Structure 1
Amino acid sequence: MAFDSLPIDGDAIVCRGVSKTWAEGTRRAHEALRDIDLVVQPGEFVVFLGPSGCGKSTLLYLISGLETVTGGDVRFFGDPVTGPSPDRSLIFQETSLFPWLNVWQNVSFGLSLRGDPPAARKAVAEQALRHVGLVEAMDKRPDELSGGMRQRVAVARALAMRPKVLLMDEPFAALDVQTRQKMQDFLLDVWRDSGASVLFVTHHIDEAVALADRVVVFSARPGTIKAVVPISLPRPRDQFSREVERLRIDLTELLRDEVDRAFAEQEGLARTA
């Protein structure tokens, strides 16, 4: 299995007029996303940034095929997204590793569902773990690993399926600042080697600036795309440079009103509950 030079052509992800209303047709209906238009290129690193409840994670679930759109269309290399696919791997904030399986068994779990024989699964898991620097932990249990190591196992599990798109929903949110920075560097190395596109959800402006080719800034609910900010600075990025500070200020200004709107909405919901 080779992680580099994945054979992909055309746009990786295309969203046209994508909308999502939860509990549609009921008294509890609420609009999460409205008229999202977005194109993601093969090998691109795109970060979704916005206030809580703006639909960032919802859009990931629609692209993954775990949820269906209310309106519009999501396409993956030209084909409609009608359900989950190993070509689109979703990594959650919680690693969701099985505690009764060791590391290589967790990494190869998707392959076991596919019916691959144990020897083949272990070989794929070993290569994926080598790719994330954890081959020595193959036989350990998840509870023997640190939080950062468990998240690397989750990335290895996704890579074992050779996805063309990695969907990451705040994967480093639970980590301390130092481990988060290490994981960001690690993720960039994995991304370069894999050739996959990455769609990454975060609340953190610094994280968005450190990682992204483009930052997609969402409005408060119902989530729309307020702005798309390209970042062409070479990596690794100096977080104290004038260019990065300018980006940080620009993104903060773009988010300021949306955060206030989201906070006011949440206060209103709390009063009426």
Structure 2
Amino acid sequence: MIQADYATQAPQPPLVTCRAVGKTWDTDGAPFVALRDIDLDIARREFVVFLGPSGCGKSTLLYLLAGLEQLTQGQIVCGGAPVTRPGTDRGLVFQETSLFPWLTVGENVTFGLKMQHMPKDARRRVAEEILERVGLSEAIDKRPDQLSGGMRQRVAVGRALALKPEILLLDEPFGALDVQTRAKMQEFLTQVWQRSNVSMVFVTHDIDEAVSLADRIVVFTSRPGRIKSIIPVDLPRPRDSRSPGFHAMTDHLTDLLRDEVDRAFAEQERVR
């Protein structure tokens, strides 16, 4: 009977599907092909990391998912609807926090809600709830310049979460942080993800960071970016970077990326 009940459960469709996605920019010379033939599904509440050498198109794909760039080929669907422009179902966090320095932390977190004409008292309640989730309750009335780099990134994540997106897209958000702060921010982001219902897509070129965060790692080739491999990460959370399993995974990814990094470097030298 248990097996029969289990068999009747329909599989949940993916939150995001990418089919034959490509991106080419027209330039004064030859067309610049950034991405080609990307096929990818992202499940609900999944943590996916895009990993690849510089210039491989991983951030371009993130901006296509966000609706900030337009497709040249293929289709992206999120929540059953084609992605053609930005939407509140997709939150975006950049490497630079882009907080408004003249607004308080709480006002920054709820800026999008203000644009939706939510009343001030309701926005304050949302800010209090979100800042508690990201561990910054006491900073609600401070200005961004009173916070550390890691704290500002937590505010940026909170601002994206305030609009209740289905998926959070993060473009190397910890790249400018020192090693210790970066590790703490990885722990923070994992906790936020585990407590929420959002999927996350995280762009990085750091192998250790990818293994620390991901359910699956999408490895990109050098330009034009294609998916070389999709690696599931079955290590238990929280992840110990000193464990044999962690080292085995980073060694495997290093081997996968070695040729792609060499090709990307050679391409950059030719451009120079």
TM above 0.5, yes or no, is yes
Whole-angstrom CA distance in 2 between matches of 1:63 and 1:131 = 25
Q: What amino acid is aligned across from residue 217 of structure 1 in structure 2?
A: V
> How has the CA–CA distance of structure 1 residues 28 and 138 changed in structure 2, closer, same or farther, with 3 Å as cutoff?
farther
Per-residue CA distance 1:172-226 (angstroms, 9 max, x = gap): 0000000000000000000011110000000100000110000000000000000
> Please, which of 11, 17, 20 is the counterpart of residue 14 of structure 2?
11
Q: CA deviation at 1:10?
A: 2.7
Aligned to 1:66: 68
> How has the CA–CA distance of structure 1 residues 28 and 142 changed in structure 2, closer, same or farther, with 3 Å as cutoff?
farther
Aligned to 1:106: 108
Aligned to 2:7: none
Aligned to 1:165: 167
2:54 is paired with a residue whose SS is coil
CA contact under 8 A between 1:11 and 1:78: conserved in structure 2?
no
Whole-angstrom CA distance in 1 between matches of 2:19 and 2:222 = 20
Q: What amino acid is aligned across from residue 42 of structure 1 in structure 2?
A: R
> Please, which of 238, 241, 250 is the counterpart of residue 239 of structure 1?
241
Whole-angstrom CA distance in 2 between matches of 1:151 and 1:10 = 31
Whole-angstrom CA distance in 1 between matches of 2:21 and 2:130 = 34
Aligned to 1:174: 176
Spell out the pairing of 1:194-205 with structure 2 (5 A cutoff). Answer: 194-205=196-207
Aligned to 1:255: 257
Q: Say whether 1:135 aligns with 2:137.
A: yes
Aligned-residue RMSD, C-alpha? 0.9
TM-score (norm 1): 0.94
Aligned to 1:4: none
2:211 is paired with a residue whose SS is helix
Identical-pair percentage: 62
Q: CA deviation at 1:28?
A: 5.5
Q: What amino acid is aligned across from residue 242 of structure 1 in structure 2?
A: P
> Please, which of 90, 96, 99 is the counterpart of residue 97 of structure 1?
99
Q: What amino acid is aligned across from residue 197 of structure 1 in structure 2?
A: S
Runs of 4+ deviating beyond 6 Å = none
1:226 is paired with a residue whose SS is strand
In structure 2, the gaps of 5 or more residues are 1-11
Per-residue CA distance 1:63-95 (angstroms, 9 max, x = gap): 011111000000002210111011100100000
Per-residue CA distance 1:34-64 (angstroms, 9 max, x = gap): 0000000000000000000000000000001
1:15 is paired with a residue whose SS is strand
Aligned to 1:5: none
In structure 1, the gaps of 5 or more residues are 1-8
Q: CA deviation at 1:27?
A: 2.6
1:75 is paired with a residue whose SS is strand
Q: Say whether 1:184 aligns with 2:220.
A: no
TM-score (norm 2): 0.94
Aligned to 1:149: 151
Aligned residues: 261
1:83 is paired with a residue whose SS is coil
